[in-house]
């Protein structure tokens, strides 16, 4: 094997935009962009689904249900591709089966169990389709519910892995997710109890994530339930309810290719400064991912979504 074959990275990054898109409705505007960067293949996927309440048997017209997500695949894109097409359907199914009135009241009471059930179902549906036991994906899945009458915006972020969501609100940056790294105390304790090790910050010296879809080689201890395996797909969840405001607010959801080279404050500042300059959202997100790859020398695929919430 030659040294060129051993090197998983390209000498120069591929910066052609992938899935560059911008759209809006009366509540918000969003834009997405990804670049392959220095990787030899692009393994990220995204979701932006507006007015998903139309998929429910729900006559309420005063709530808008919307989904935004980033999926960062590894060992191929088959897991990220599957999850991007099926996770939201399972979330909708869980909501539909439990809905009896307001979407927000249901999520306030049951969001954690709804998202956990949908994540676990998606993982089990993917298992017979996995090409190997190492292919997997993160998921940073953000649900935004807007209200016509109160003008409130409710945000629910369910996350596994190290893709991340932050909220910029009134000039401040708030985390909407936390990275699941194997070396953190909670994750490391579970990995060790399941018979694994944490070496060089990785599960068994290989996987840099403690939670993910797929990765079934790390979920193979028959003596343990899936919630106690070395790697699990149980999401953490953060919920915020935002009252009406005339101040700028936006969500930034991105894979670890952004967060490896920028912290949350730096990334949000990058977006905000360009909004102040009057740049279009699609150009800002494109500039962000290229900046991370070309200028900051991130070697990974890079993808991001910006969701700007319209002032009320």
142 touches 157 (CB < 8 A): yes
* pLDDT of 136: 98
Q: How far apart are the C-alpha atoms of 285 and 126, rounded to whole Å?
A: 30
DSSP-derived letter for residue 195 is T
pLDDT of 5 over the 50 cut: no
pLDDT of 159 over the 90 cut: yes
pTM of the full predicted structure? 0.95
Q: By mean pLDDT, which of 59-63, 65-69, 76-80, 104-108 is the weakest?
A: 59-63
Residues in CB range of 239: below 8 A, 6 or more apart: 107, 108, 111, 154, 155, 156, 157
Residue 151 Rama label (left phi>0; alpha psi -120 to 50; beta):
left
| Tokens describing residue 251 | 């969500």
How large a percentage of the chain has pLDDT more than 90? 86
Higher-pLDDT residue of 59 and 303 is: 303
pLDDT of 25 over the 90 cut: no
Q: How many CB atoms lie within 10 A of CB 50?
A: 18
* pLDDT of 1: 29
* pLDDT of 242: 95
Residues in CB range of 172: below 8 A, 6 or more apart: none
pLDDT of 303 over the 60 cut: yes
Tally of helices (H runs) and strands (E runs) in the chain = 7, 17
* pLDDT of 149: 86
Q: How far apart are the C-alpha atoms of 297 and 39, rounded to whole Å?
A: 12
pLDDT of 3 over the 60 cut: no
DSSP 18-75: EEEEEEE-SSEEEEEEEE-EEESS--EEEEEE--GGGGSS----SEEEEEEEEEEEES
Average confidence (pLDDT) over 253-278 = 98
pLDDT band at 148 (very low <50, low <70, confident <90, very high): confident
* pLDDT of 60: 64
* pLDDT of 26: 83
pLDDT band at 56 (very low <50, low <70, confident <90, very high): confident
Q: How far apart are the C-alpha atoms of 43 and 216, rounded to whole Å?
A: 18
Q: How far apart are the C-alpha atoms of 287 and 21, rounded to whole Å?
A: 13
pLDDT band at 22 (very low <50, low <70, confident <90, very high): confident
Average confidence (pLDDT) over 97-117 = 94
pLDDT band at 4 (very low <50, low <70, confident <90, very high): very low
**Which residue in 74, 232, 46, 209 sits closest to 140, CA to CA?**
46
3-state class (DSSP) for residue 304: strand
Average confidence (pLDDT) over 108-128 = 97
Write down all domains in the chain, each with its CATH number in brackets: 3-309 (3.60.40.10)
Beta strands in 162-254 (DSSP E): 164-169, 172-175, 198-199, 202-203, 213-214, 236-242, 249-254
Predicted confidence (pLDDT) per residue in 188-232, tens digit: 999 999 999 999 999 999 999 999 999 999 999 999 999 999 999
Q: What is the mean pLDDT of the chain?
A: 94
């Amino acid at each position: 094997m030659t040294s060129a074959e051993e090197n998983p990275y390209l000498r120069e990054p591929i910066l052609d935009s992938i899935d560059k898109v911008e759209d809006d409705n009366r509540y918000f505007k969003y834009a997405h962009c990804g670049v392959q960067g220095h990787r030899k293949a692009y393994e990220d996927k995204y979701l932006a689904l507006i007015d998903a309440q139309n998929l429910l048997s729900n006559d309420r017209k005063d709530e808008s249900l919307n989904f935004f997500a980033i999926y960062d695949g590894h060992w191929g894109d088959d897991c990220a591709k599957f999850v991007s097409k099926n996770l939201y359907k399972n979330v909708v199914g869980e909501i539909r089966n439990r809905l009896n009135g307001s979407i927000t009241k249901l999520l306030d009471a049951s969001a954690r169990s709804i998202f956990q059930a949908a994540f676990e179902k998606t993982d089990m549906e993917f298992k017979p389709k996995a090409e190997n036991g190492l292919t997997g994906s993160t998921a940073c899945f953000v649900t935004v519910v807007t209200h016509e009458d109160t003008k409130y915006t409710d945000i629910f972020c369910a996350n596994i892995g190290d893709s991340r969501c932050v909220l910029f609100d009134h000039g401040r940056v708030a985390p909407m997710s936390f990275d699941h790294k194997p070396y953190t105390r909670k994750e490391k304790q579970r990995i060790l109890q399941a018979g694994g090790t944490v070496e060089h910050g990785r599960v068994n010296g290989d996987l840099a994530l403690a939670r993910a879809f797929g990765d079934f080689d790390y979920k193979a201890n028959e003596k343990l339930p899936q919630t106690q395996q070395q790697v699990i797909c149980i999401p953490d969840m953060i919920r915020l309810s935002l009252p009406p405001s005339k101040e700028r607010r936006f969500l930034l959801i991105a894979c670890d290719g952004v967060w490896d080279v920028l912290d949350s404050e730096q990334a949000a500042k990058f977006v905000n400064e360009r909004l102040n300059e009057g740049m279009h959202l699609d150009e800002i997100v494109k500039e962000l991912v290229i900046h991370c790859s070309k200028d900051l020398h991130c070697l990974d695929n890079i993808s991001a979504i910006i969701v700007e919430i319209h002032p009320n």
